[in-house]
Structure 1
Amino acid sequence: MTRTYLQLLNLLHPLKSSRSFKHSSALPTHFLKRTMRAKLEGDQRSDALKQLQSNGWKLANDRDALSKTFLFKNFNQAFGFMTRVALLAEKLDHHPEWFNVYNKVEVTLSTHDLNGLSTYDAQMAQFMDQCVSGTQDNK
């Protein structure tokens, strides 16, 4: 097995130690530090929403959630984006709702056990925006 494959297995293994992930370059380290999952409220919510909405995220009409559609050049770029996000989602144990057809990925973020937006949703949205900066046209 290749070193990269072994690193990926270590990343996805639920009992892996943080030491084994230390040498992997799959995700930037500032996204790997688990913050406490808490519902976004007050000034923290306002500040997070202001930044995210300026990057194209929209509040859902029917519930406390954020959504955004990402358009890529082709399926490979869309799937690569989803793969990078999936690695963070597993690390945080926080998974997006998404729908993919060819070059389009529609994402909805909400924290179901908190019945609304959380710090993890803001972190996940920021990570998605960083993943795609310069590689596709956001809508």
Structure 2
Amino acid sequence: MDVESKLKDLPAWRREGDEIRRSVNAPDFPTAIRIVDEIAVRAEELDHHPDIDIRWRTLHLALTTHDQGGLTERDFTLAAIIDDIAARHGA
């Protein structure tokens, strides 16, 4: 898989080893929690769950496919969904 090529379509994300990461700055704490809630619903539907660290209104997200030992198409699919959710909430 050409990770760098896939990241061109996801400019907010960066590669760190076997993960892709991004931070999302929400307008406020309640919005940050709503973003996490929407991500959780979509992640559950895809059976693919990100690591999420919540710091006030900033979310730090990391994606990798643990059972495959690195990045797969599932990570990039969920990254695009997360971008859409964040944008809809003004983040």
Whether these two folds match at TM > 0.5 is yes
Tell me which amino acid in the other structure corresponds to 1:74. Answer: D
- Measured in 1, the distance between the counterparts of 2:27 and 2:66 equals 32
Alpha-carbon deviation of 1:46? 4.3
Correspondence for 1:59: 15
2:5 to 24, 44, 47: 47
- Measured in 2, the distance between the counterparts of 1:58 and 1:66 equals 5
Gaps of 5+ in 2: none
Alpha-carbon deviation of 1:47? 3.2
Correspondence for 1:120: 74
- Measured in 2, the distance between the counterparts of 1:130 and 1:80 equals 13
- Measured in 2, the distance between the counterparts of 1:109 and 1:80 equals 19
Tell me: higher relative CO, structure 1 or 2? Use CA pairs within 8 A at least 6 residues apart.
2
Question: Does 2:48 align with 1:90?
Answer: no
- Measured in 2, the distance between the counterparts of 1:49 and 1:105 equals 19
Tell me which amino acid in the other structure corresponds to 2:62. Answer: T
Correspondence for 2:26: 72
- Measured in 2, the distance between the counterparts of 1:88 and 1:119 equals 16
> Equivalent residues in 2 for 1:24-35 (5 A)?
none
Aligned residue-pair number: 90
Tell me which amino acid in the other structure corresponds to 2:15. Answer: L
Please identify which structure carries the higher strand content.
2
Gaps of 5+ in 1: 1-40
Bigger Rg, which one: 1
Tell me which amino acid in the other structure corresponds to 2:28. Answer: N
Correspondence for 1:8: none
TM-score of the pair, normalised by structure 2: 0.90
